[in-house]
Amino acid sequence: MPEPKPVEALSEAEAAAELTQLADEIAAHDIRYYQEEAPSVSDAEYDALKLRNAALEARFPQLVRENSPTWRVGAPRAASFAPVEHGVPMLSLDNAFSDDDAREFDARVRRFLRLEGETIGYTAEPKIDGLSASLRYERGVFVQGATRGDGRVGEDVTDNLKTIGEIPRALRGDDWPDVIEVRGEVYFGHDDFAALNEAAVAAGQRTYVNPRNAASGSLRQIDPRITAQRRLRFFAYAWGSVSRPFAETQWQALEALRRWGFLVTPQARRVENADGLLAAYAEMERLRPRLNFDIDGVVYKVDRLDWQQRLGFVSRSPRWAVARKFPAQQARTILNAIDLQVGRTGAVTPVARLQSVTVGGVVVENATLHNADEIARKDIRVGDTVIVQRAGDVIPQVVGVVLDERPAGAEAFEFPTRCPCPLATPLARDVQGEDAEGNSIYGVVRRCTGEFACPFQRVEHLIHFVSRRAFDIEGLGVKQLQAFYDEDLIREPADIFRLARNEAAIAALKEREGYGETSVRNLVNSIESRRRIPLDRFINALGVRHVGETTALALARGYGSASAFLAAMDKVAAGEADAVAELDAFDQIGPAVIEATAAYFAEDHNRRIVAELVAEIAIEDVERPKTDTAVAGKTVVFTGSLERLTRDEAKAQAEALGAKVASSVSRKTDLVVAGPGAGSKLKAAADLGVKVLTEDEWLALVGG
């Protein structure tokens, strides 16, 4: 990936666009990490996104969005569990990444408290890589447990937490407060995690990628009996609501938690000043490989609780604590080969085939090499000894080469000019603009030009077509689709629906190993249940480049029906100016989408595939917004805290009445609805002369 433009070199418009993209990207990563237990980027990559967002907001404070990641902790609770509002929010910590960052933390504490030259005590506690939980005790008895959720509201997992032997049902002793919320981390030991995955493999079930995901998935089971079968553990390290003070320092508090029956990490230390912080980090880094549980850093906390209270909080983090992150775990191994994988949009990604190596407790045999430019920049060659990194135990990547160990005769890798598919179609690089001399500027991605003719892309298109956000057809996973494709049963989307009524093919499926009467009947029923599809899902399922869920919904709302959408796409493909102008006027549609839709529908093969699909299904029209209301056709921005409506309700109401809802204020904005706490958007409205309404005035305008 090319280096992003320096923040100081960005215009306000460029910064606004990037903040919008970052907010959506980070929110999606939060959901995958906290709810789905399936992170798709490393901790380091995620931290880089958050740091970039913070830098942009610092330079352009007027652009801070209400859905800014700065103001969010974790992800919203899942609907499967009852909500639990935390008495004291479970906040996140700021990160430190170097010795200099640790020294600066100590210096900030000293400046704030005016303690230059004095000794400051800290606790240094291992940062357990598990799932945060809060346990409420009343009169010493455990009465309720919750996950962190979004930091303010978590999920009620009381019954599941009761299955963990290291969580006491009743506190020992008699010196505990009448009410206290004990906080800590639910985690898996390495040996128990290995046993869990071994049992899953034996039972033919999915395995977990790392102990953190396993802990999250195990604690958030609907059936507590499943949780009870898994050896979850718990370390206590903090507290939330408390009916009375019970300690004067963080260290005394940890001792109290031990007395009451909790396990507290034995590696925790009390240290003094910046030198003590650095020494504790070095010691924890040395101990890390020998621990039976994962840690991803060290948490520094000011020891005295009265000083913690004086220091207070900034944004969503305490001033009195910081998380010092470890660098990504790495290992050395041999690069045996470089293969190419072709994605749905034709992007060709090089993949390193490695001699097996264990990194962070996980066996790694494959790693991404990103793109041709990255291979050339790092001078990666087959046969090299390479350094492999699994930051956050997610996607392995090759971060460098050990040049001293390069074998004689190792040749520089030449990226192919043709797709590895049987058709060997040419690869092309995206043109991203022109330089001052008019020369084309190319992106780093090589892309197969074969589109649906490329068998690799066709299978990826089919996988996308049946995915949860598109047609959502159960029973057609990657393995099934690949097998059906190889056997000519399913070559394009319409074939899926033809298969469901092909009696000979269905009868043959019932005789295949791994199938049977029930599984085939379920597959047919799943396909048949998707013959009726909303327009936005249909558009998303087509797999047009740059057209995802949000853009598909905008197109569906813009055209209203499949017939109108397809007729308009034919005109856009033909370059008709009026049709292109109409598409360009839709919210969230820009040049990239216009170019991609035109290219897609200009291809005869694509048009035939779409026509045959349409013949097999029924596509539901979009309910058209009203045009006879006081806000029809107007662009509305909601800001601040709404008291009578939720933000989602307000947006849905406005769109149902024919209004367009925007996330930022511009000269095209007609109305701003402002509640308490409105900030930069209210100022922007005043600067631009945009009419501002209170929530009550808005409800009166639209009829309640």
By annotation, the residues acting in catalysis are 127
475 within 8 A of 522, measured Cβ to Cβ = yes
**Residue in 310, 163, 309 with CA at minimum distance from that of residue 242:** 309
The tokens of 146 are what? Answer: 């919750």
What is the C-alpha to C-alpha distance for residues 6 and 153, in angstroms, rounded to an integer?
36
H, E, C per residue of 399-466: EEECHHHCCCCCCCCCCCCECCCCCCCEEEEEEEEECCCCCEEEEEEEEECCHHHCHHHHHHHHHHHC
What is the C-alpha to C-alpha distance for residues 162 and 168, in angstroms, rounded to an integer?
8
**Residue in 567, 574, 572, 540 with CA at minimum distance from that of residue 556:** 540
Alpha helices (H) along 529-589: 535-541, 549-559, 562-573, 577-585
CA distances from 595 to 230, 441, 449, 541, 563 (A): 51, 17, 15, 18, 21
CA distances from 110 to 118, 158, 251, 507 (A): 8, 41, 20, 77
Sign of CA dihedral 264, 266, 270, 275: negative
The amino acid present at 121, given as its one-letter code, is G
**Residue in 545, 540, 561, 550 with CA at minimum distance from that of residue 469:** 540
**Residue in 261, 242, 251 with CA at minimum distance from that of residue 125:** 251
**Residue in 242, 241, 294 with CA at minimum distance from that of residue 265:** 294
**Contacts (Cβ under 8 Å, ≥6 apart) of 76:** 31, 35, 149, 150, 153
The tokens of 400 are what? Answer: 């460098």
CB-count burial class (<10 Å; 0-12, 13-18, 19+) for 624: exposed
What is the C-alpha to C-alpha distance for residues 143 and 87, in angstroms, rounded to an integer?
14
Sign of CA dihedral 507, 511, 515, 519: positive
Strand (E) positions, 72-206? 83-85, 95-96, 121-128, 131-138, 141-147, 153-155, 179-188
What is the C-alpha to C-alpha distance for residues 396 and 359, in angstroms, rounded to an integer?
9
**Contacts (Cβ under 8 Å, ≥6 apart) of 79:** none
Could you identify the residue written with the tokens 């944004």?
315
Partners of residue 86 on adjacent β-strands: none
